[in-house]
Amino acid sequence: MLRRPSSLAGLALVALSGLAACADAPSAPRPVATDAPSRGLLGGVTGVVGGVVGGVVSTVEAILTPVTGMLWSSPVTAVTVSGVIGAQGGSIAIPNGARLIVPAGAVGGPVAFSISRVPGRIVAYEFQPHGIRFAVPVVIEQPLAGINLSGISTSSIEGAYFADVTALDQTKGSAQVSEFRPTVVLKDRGVVRFTVDHFSGYMVSSGRSEIQDDSGF
């Protein structure tokens, strides 16, 4: 009977020493929230790129370059063609217009593609689905037949990206573009060919209105 209190006192001392040890031990660090923007908040390669840094919304506008568009011999009407292309590759084309060639491996599965010819004088198209990016660049070909080639040097011809049709001035035959693509003119086939790695609008330009060096590519 006399040993019980001493036993209780011992338990109390153990408990107190345990609490002291817990108080002295460093606590695990808590995660610290960052203000870095997530990938979902970022825009595409061209156009407006935005994010949230330090709680402040910021945007960076792409640099636009004025160009002269290649022009149809006669104004054209709107035409759209569509097709499903899978991982094995394939192509779709507008008669007497742009042809889209999707190499094998560019997409991981079936994708519904479309090409819409922009009505008017400028040789320009909108490609769907907007925003899609390719594991392997796809090819756009534009026949030279039906295009006014008077006074145009083939060395000045370039495929160019425009954000939307408001960037095209059909009256002046000019445009504001934010990306140029490596372009070749295949004279033996009578086509202009360039590659792209993402989709929106593309046109064929016949010259830049401002001189830029190769770093603009």
Residue 26 has pLDDT above 90, yes or no: no
Query: Is residue 187 in a domain?
Result: yes
Whether the bond into 129 is cis, omega within 30 of 0:
yes
What is the average per-residue pLDDT within 11-40?
A: 39
Same domain? For 69 and 58 the reply is: no
- Residue 24 falls inside a structural domain: no
| 124, β-bridge pairs | 203
What is the pLDDT at residue 210?
A: 52
CATH of the domain at 109: 2.60.220.30
Asked if residue 142 belongs to a domain, the reply is yes
* 102: in domain: yes
Q: Domain check: are 94 and 169 in the same one?
A: yes
**Nearest alpha carbon to residue 84 among 53, 113, 54:** 113
The verdict on 123 and 44 lying in the same domain is no
94-128 per-position pLDDT tens digit: 999 999 999 999 999 999 999 999 999 999 999 99
Domain contains 180:
yes
Which range scores top for mean pLDDT: 14-18, 110-114, 184-188, 213-217?
110-114
* Structural domain total, the chain: 2
Rounded Cα gap, residues 129 and 113, in angstroms:
6
For residue 54, the enclosing domain spans 34-62
Q: Which residue is listed with tokens 């979902």?
A: 40
Residue 179 has pLDDT above 50, yes or no: yes
Residues 54 and 92 in one domain: no
pTM score: 0.69
* Residue 95 sits in the same domain as residue 201: yes
Q: Is residue 1 situated within a structural domain?
A: no
pLDDT digits (tens, 9 = 90+) for 55-97: 343 334 578 999 999 999 999 999 999 999 999 999 999 999 9
* Dihedral sign for Cα atoms in the order 132, 137, 143, 146: positive
